[in-house]
Structure 1
Amino acid sequence: MTTSLNLVRITLNTASRDVQRDLSDAKQMHTTLMRLLPDAMGEDPRKQANLLFRVEDDPRGITVLAQASHPLLPSNLPTGYGTTERKDISPLLRALRAGMAVRYRIDLNPTRSERRSALTAANADSERPRRPRGIVRALTGADADTWWRERAAANGLTVHTLLPTAPAWPPPRNARTGRGAITFTLCRYDGIATITDPALLGTALTEGIGRAKPYGAGLLTILPGPA
C-alpha cells in the first residue's frame, strides 16, 4: 500500500464558465480534474494515481475535494477555476489504529450484480444461444444501507451510525443539453465508525470504495476522535 496521500480542496468560482460546465456534467468534471495529474502516467492515469474526488456544498461555497497518491497540480486547472488548498494527508494513514473511533463521509454508488435467469426468445431460437448477461441493479433505502455496512466491514471499518442523504451533485441530466449526463445516482453517508483493520482501511482510503470512482464516488474521508 502506498504511504503517500495528497489532498486538494478547490473552492469553485461559480462565475467561471468552466465551472458551470463541469457542475452540469459529471463527465466534464472528470475531464477537468484529470488535469491535476502529471503527464505520462500510462493507459489508466486515474487508476495509477488513485485519483478520487467528491463535490460538496458547504458554507464557504461549492468545493471539490480531490485526492491522489501522486502529487496534484492545481496550476493545471483552467484559469479562474477557483482557489485551492493543498495538504499532505499521508500521516493519517500511519496514525490508523484498531479500535480508533472515527467520523466518516463517503459518496457511493451502491449496486448489485444479478444474472438473468432466462434467455430471451430470440436468443433461445438461435443455433448458438449466448449465455445470459448479468445486470447491475442500483440499490436504495435499506438495501443500500446494508450494502454500505458490508463494504465498510470488508474494508476495515465497523459502522455504528449512518445518515444517508442525496448529494446535489452529480446531476442526473446535462443541464445545458438536457441529455442524460450519467446513468447512476449517488448516496452520501455520514456517521460514526470504529477501525477494525488499519491495513484494509488504509487501502480503502487510498483506492476508494465501489463503482463510479471517475465521477465523484468512492472517496472515503475520516476524522479520528471521540464519537
Structure 2
Amino acid sequence: MTTTVTTQAPHLARLRLNGRSSAVHHDLGDAGRLHRRVQSMFPDTTNRTVTHTLYRLERDPAGPVLLVQSTIPLNSKALPNRYTEAVEHRDLAPLFTWITTGLTLRYRIDANPIHAPRAPNTRQRGTRVPLLGEEAIAWWERKAAAAGLHAQLILDTPQQPLRANRGTTPDGKPARPACVSIIRFEGIATVTDPDALRTAITTGIGQGRAFGAGLLSIAPHRP
C-alpha cells in the first residue's frame, strides 16, 4: 500500500550563490554548515522534517546554484549580505497536477545509495556500505519503482562526497568528519503511480537528506 503525503505541494527556491562571498565558500566546504545555513531561512522553531526541507547543490558553469524545496516558503533575506546574486521562487502545485499515469519525464536526484546488512543472529543493522556501479543502479531502480517511476534510462555519475565537521571528541580531539557518498542519477522515466511520485518529491528519497541528498527533480521529456 502506498502512503501519501497530505500536505500541500512544496515550494522550490533557486538561489544563485555569490562565488565571491567568503560565507558561501565556508558553507560549500562543510555539509553541516550548509545544512545550518539552509535552516536559517526558516523560523527557529521549524524542524526540517516538519517542512520536508530538501536541497541540492548544482555546480553550474556560471557559479554554484542552491535548490531548496520545502512545504513553506523560505526567507532568503535571512542570509548574509551579498550571499546570493539572484533568487527565484516556484510553486510546485502545477507540477503536481501535471503528473499523471503513463507520463514520460526527465528526472534528477543526488542520492546516497547504501546497504546496511543485518548482523548475524540479530535484527540490528550493520555498518552502512556505499554502493557503486551496478549495485547502485539496482538500488535506484528499486527506489524509483517505490516512488512511482519506471526508469527507462539511468545515467549514474559519482559526485564529490559530502563532508561535515563533527567538532571535537569528549577528550578534545578533532572528531572524524561525517562523509556521505553521493551519486547523481538522471535520465528518463515513466510515471506508474502519481501519488507515490508526489510523496517522493515532497519527502525525498534515501539517506543523507539533511546534507543535501534525496531531492528528486522532474521535468518534461521532449524527444
TM-score using structure 1 length: 0.85
Q: Which moves more between the two structures, 153-162 or 71-80?
A: 71-80
Question: Residues of 2 paired with 1:96 and 1:104: CA distance?
Answer: 13
Residue number among 188, 204, 211 corresponding to 1:208 in the alignment:
204
Residue number among 106, 130, 133 corresponding to 1:141 in the alignment:
133
Which residue pairs with 2:27 in the alignment?
22
Change (3 A) 1:85 1:179: farther
Residue 89 (structure 1) shift: 1.6
RMSD, aligned α-carbons = 2.1
Question: 3-state DSSP class of the match of 2:45?
Answer: coil
Residue 80 (structure 1) shift: 1.3
Which residue pairs with 2:77 in the alignment?
75
* Runs (5+) with no aligned partner, structure 1: 119-129
Residue 170 (structure 1) shift: 3.0
Question: Residues of 1 paired with 2:70 and 2:50: CA distance?
Answer: 9
Question: Residues of 2 paired with 1:182 and 1:18: CA distance?
Answer: 21
For residues 87-131 of structure 1, the C-alpha deviation after alignment (integer angstroms, 9 at most, x for no partner) is 11221112110000000000000011212227xxxxxxxxxxx98
Question: Residues of 2 paired with 1:137 and 1:159: CA distance?
Answer: 24
Which residue pairs with 1:124 in the alignment?
none
What are the within-5 Å matches in structure 2 for residues 61-210 of structure 1? Answer: 61-82=63-84, 83-117=86-120, 134-168=126-160, 170-171=162-163, 180-210=176-206
Change (3 A) 1:7 1:169: farther
Displacement over 4 Å in runs of 4+: 130-133, 171-174
Question: Residues of 2 paired with 1:220 and 1:81: CA distance?
Answer: 25
Question: Residues of 2 paired with 1:154 and 1:131: CA distance?
Answer: 23
- In the alignment, residue 154 of structure 2 is paired with which amino acid? L
Whether 1:49 aligns to 2:41 is: no
Question: 3-state DSSP class of the match of 2:178?
Answer: coil
Question: Residues of 2 paired with 1:72 and 1:20: CA distance?
Answer: 21
State the identity as a percent: 37
The alignment covers a number of residue pairs equal to 210
For residues 198-226 of structure 1, the C-alpha deviation after alignment (integer angstroms, 9 at most, x for no partner) is 00000000100000000010000000234
Paired residues of 1:172 and 1:185 also in contact (CA < 8 A): no
Paired residues of 2:12 and 2:67 also in contact (CA < 8 A): yes
Question: Residues of 2 paired with 1:173 and 1:133: CA distance?
Answer: 25
Question: Residues of 2 paired with 1:133 and 1:158: CA distance?
Answer: 29
Paired residues of 2:33 and 2:164 also in contact (CA < 8 A): no
Paired residues of 2:113 and 2:139 also in contact (CA < 8 A): yes
* Runs (5+) with no aligned partner, structure 2: 1-5, 167-173
Residue 168 (structure 1) shift: 4.0
Q: Which has the larger radius of gyration?
A: 1
Q: Which moves more between the two structures, 148-157 or 73-82?
A: 73-82
Residue 166 (structure 1) shift: 2.0
